[in-house]
Amino acid sequence: MIERVEILFIQGSVVKVTTEKEAGELPALPQKAPEEKEEVSEEKPTHIVSARVLWDFNKVQMQRPTEHLMDVSGIKYDGTHTLERLEPLELDESSPTYARSNLLSTRDALADMHQYGSLLTGVFHSHPGRGRSAVHPSQTDIRNQKKLEDAGYKCISAVFSRDGWVRFFTVNSPFRVVVKGKGVECVEENLYKLKKAGDV
């Protein structure tokens, strides 16, 4: 389960920050994400994910006994999005089954992306379990992803298990994931397993 904060934009500047504490009404997000106003003509926009960024998040989350949450930035080129850089977020709360990002930290990460012309293209978080069954998104995960989609972000979410399973998901945005690099096996559509040489 994750909980996010919302950042609203007007003409490309961060002007207002709101929080949502828990389940309930979705917040009103009248402003579109500034970088994502362009319509993508493809029915299933491709998101190219660096294998390295999956391994990097896995390494970070394995060092923590509690759930972890990070934004991922990238670029958009010719209708394709990349997920290439982990954006550190401070967490206000993190338990074995729950993580909530810090308000100012989230705002700063988005502002930093904007400064370099990068976009929020992914949201990674970890679940405490093991195996492929551990990476199904919770209702809270789905709610948070929907908020981002409703705000115009063309980002996808991924859930990591403690043993290298990764599932990508969106709510209403069609997408196709392509993982490029070594050590990541596609098990089925949107489901991957991190494997090093010698892993069974």
Q: Binding residues for Zn ion, per CB under 5 A?
A: 138, 141
Q: Which is nearer to Zn ion, 35 or 141 (CB)?
A: 141
Position of minimal CB gap to Zn ion: 141
For the chain, the straight-line distance linking the first and the last C-alpha, in angstroms and rounded, comes to: 29
We find the least distance from the C-beta atom of residue 141 to Zn ion, in angstroms, to be 4
Q: Which is nearer to Zn ion, 66 or 138 (CB)?
A: 138
We find the least distance from the C-beta atom of residue 125 to Zn ion, in angstroms, to be 6
We find the least distance from the C-beta atom of residue 190 to Zn ion, in angstroms, to be 15
Contacts of 14 (CB under 8 A, 6+ apart): 7, 8, 107, 110, 111
Q: Which is nearer to Zn ion, 31 or 140 (CB)?
A: 140
φ, ψ (nearest 5 deg) of residue 168? -95, 145
We find the least distance from the C-beta atom of residue 137 to Zn ion, in angstroms, to be 6
We find the least distance from the C-beta atom of residue 124 to Zn ion, in angstroms, to be 10
Q: Which is nearer to Zn ion, 8 or 177 (CB)?
A: 177
